[in-house]
């Protein structure tokens, strides 16, 4: 009943004769189909545009990450890293002995040896004149962490390539940063780039 009333009203207002009711339905449905097709086309275009944008963003992240990797492998950052590595390699025997003692001690004896290790780190940096090199790598680390946090660098690629090295840098120099930078800790920046491996603690081996 309601449907018949609607069609009678439509025929009365549109001038469509009863014999032309089928053609009238076509006239009504054509705009609806056109709108539907247009909406589907827009949806498909939107999905395609989103995919294209995601691919472009991924390419830009990879390009920017590779730029940081190149800095670490050449230029001032690479030179600073090489000097740090050479110095700590030279002192690795002394450091290993201190760390071994710390692991076997407890209480005041352990606290005394931890302090001895702290002084060893500070004195080694002073003896080899590594302050500038530490700062160069520090600034590189900060820039990379910012890039990752902003989504402009690929965290997975950065972590795979630089994660172990950056944790080594942080663990080796943390006493220096606590002393020279009023307690600044690099761990949040390194963590933003590469989560610490499970069970890893203490200065890493160069």
Asked whether the beta carbons of 190 and 97 are under 8 A apart, the reply is no
CA dihedral of 156, 160, 162, 165, whole degrees rounded to 10: 140
Q: What's the token pair of residue 53?
A: 């944008």
First-to-last alpha carbon distance for the chain, in angstroms, is 87
Tens-digit pLDDT string for the chain (206 aa): 544 544 454 454 445 444 555 555 555 566 766 777 777 777 776 676 666 667 888 899 999 999 999 999 999 999 999 999 999 999 999 999 999 999 999 999 999 999 999 999 999 999 999 999 999 999 999 999 999 999 999 999 999 999 999 999 999 999 999 999 887 889 999 999 999 877 666 665 67
DSSP conformation class of 204: P
What is the model's pLDDT at position 45? 65
What is the model's pLDDT at position 205? 64
Q: What is the pTM of this model?
A: 0.72
C-alpha span between 109 and 113 (Å, rounded): 6
Q: What's the token pair of residue 57?
A: 């963003």
Phi, psi of 152 (to 5 degrees): -95, -10
């Amino acid at each position: 009943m309601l449907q018949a009333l609607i069609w009678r009203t439509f025929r009365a207002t549109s001038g469509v004769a009863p014999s032309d009711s089928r053609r009238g339905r076509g006239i009504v449905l054509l705009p609806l189909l056109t709108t539907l097709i247009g909406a589907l086309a827009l949806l498909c275009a939107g999905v395609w545009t989103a995919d294209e944008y995601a691919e472009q963003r991924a390419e830009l992240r990879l390009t920017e990450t590779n730029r940081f990797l190149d800095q670490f492998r050449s230029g001032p950052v690479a030179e600073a890293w090489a000097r740090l590595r050479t110095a700590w390699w030279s002192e690795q025997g002394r450091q290993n002995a201190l760390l071994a003692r710390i692991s076997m001690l407890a209480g005041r004896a352990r606290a005394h040896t931890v302090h001895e290790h702290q002084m060893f780190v500070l004195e080694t940096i002073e003896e080899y004149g590594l302050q500038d090199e530490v700062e160069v790598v520090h600034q590189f680390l900060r820039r990379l962490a910012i890039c990752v946090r902003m989504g402009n660098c690929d965290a997975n690629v950065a972590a795979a390539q630089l994660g172990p090295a950056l944790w080594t840098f942080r663990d080796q120099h943390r006493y220096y940063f606590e002393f020279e930078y009023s307690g600044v800790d690099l761990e949040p920046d390194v963590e933003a780039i590469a989560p610490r491996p499970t069970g890893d603690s203490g200065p890493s081996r160069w």
